[in-house]
Amino acid sequence: MQHPNARSIEGRVALVTGAASGIGAATAVRLLENGAKVIATDVTRPDVAAYAGATSPFADNCLALDMDVTRKLQVAEAIALGAAHFGGLDILVNNAGIKAACAIESDRFDDIWDSSLAVMLTGPKNCFRAALPFLRRSDCARVVNISSIEGLEASKGAAPYSAAKAGLIGLTRSLAVEFGTEGITVNCICPGPIETPMTSDVADEHRRKYLDRYTALHRAGQPEEIADMILNICLPSSAFMTGSIVVVDGGLIARST
């Protein structure tokens, strides 16, 4: 057994949702690089060969599975399969997400609302419920939910996204309180603008103006910078941290002018 203050996740088993792209892929790689066994899941199983560098030496430590977080049965089967493959589950990273901006008067609003909540709020709930029996058997159970600064503040025309991400903050706090005495920590990260496929359709000129105007660092974050925070939270030495909402946004929320 590791020392409770260990700063290593060597040998821990982690499941990452939305691991085919962006923050999820960077997280799978970072956890593998740090000695974890990773169940990498996405709607269509991630191509782990794309985890450049990390896959060849660590291939035996990575299992890729199809897992749509909105499909309860598939979630339960994939989590059970992954846990059986690696002999347990210590870490759940609820990262899967979709773009969900839509004006409230639009005919498409209700559909986008439903899919946003299904993927980014019901999805993490589905994954947590399926993972719980395995997390209970871990001596270092960690759940990290990926919300957004949009869960704390709001942009016009993004109600479905903001509502789902704010709901995920509520779910984080609620699960942290409910499972604290069992030693399962549940925390949430609120990233600011991160360079991933989700944000790649923003025109360069518009992106530059936005980053200069709103962030303290005048730049977007890289997916690896969120993966590093996820790793920190998953360390055994982060045991006293639960129910926390961690903003990683290049100073966007801090900046008033």
> What residues are annotated to the active site?
161
Beta carbon of residue 221, minimum distance to ligand NAD (angstroms, whole number): 8
User: Quick one: three-class SS letters along the chain?
Assistant: CCCCCCCCCCCCEEEECCCCCHHHHHHHHHHHHCCCEEEEEECCCCCHHHCCCCHHHHHHHEEEEECCCCCHHHHHHHHHHHHHHHCCCCEEEECCCCCCCCCCCCCCHHHHHHHHHHHHHHHHHHHHHHHHHHHCCCCCCEEEEECCHHHCCCCCCCHHHHHHHHHHHHHHHHHHHHHHHHCCEEEEEEECCECCHHHCCCCHHHHHHHHHHHCCCCCCECHHHHHHHHHHHHCHHHCCCCCCEEEECCCCCCCCC
Tell me if 230 contacts ligand NAD by CB under 6 A: no
Task: Pick the closer one to ligand NAD by CB: 64 or 140.
Answer: 64
String marking each residue 186-215 x if it binds ligand NAD according to CB under 6 A:
-----x-xx-xxxx----------------
Binding mask 118-137 for ligand NAD (x = CB under 6 A): -xx--x--------------
Q: Which of residues 151-170 bind ligand NAD (CB under 6 A)?
A: none
Asked whether position 53 contacts ligand NAD by CB under 6 A, the answer is no
The least distance separating ligand NAD from the CB of residue 200, rounded to whole angstroms, comes to: 8
C-beta closer to ligand NAD: residue 4 or 197: 197
Within residues 71-100, the interface with ligand NAD by CB under 6 A covers 95-98
Nearest distance from C-beta of residue 2 to ligand NAD, angstroms: 29
Q: Select the residue interacting with ligand NAD from 17, 122, 138, 162 (CB under 6 A).
A: 17
Nearer residue to ligand NAD within complex by CB, 1 or 203: 203
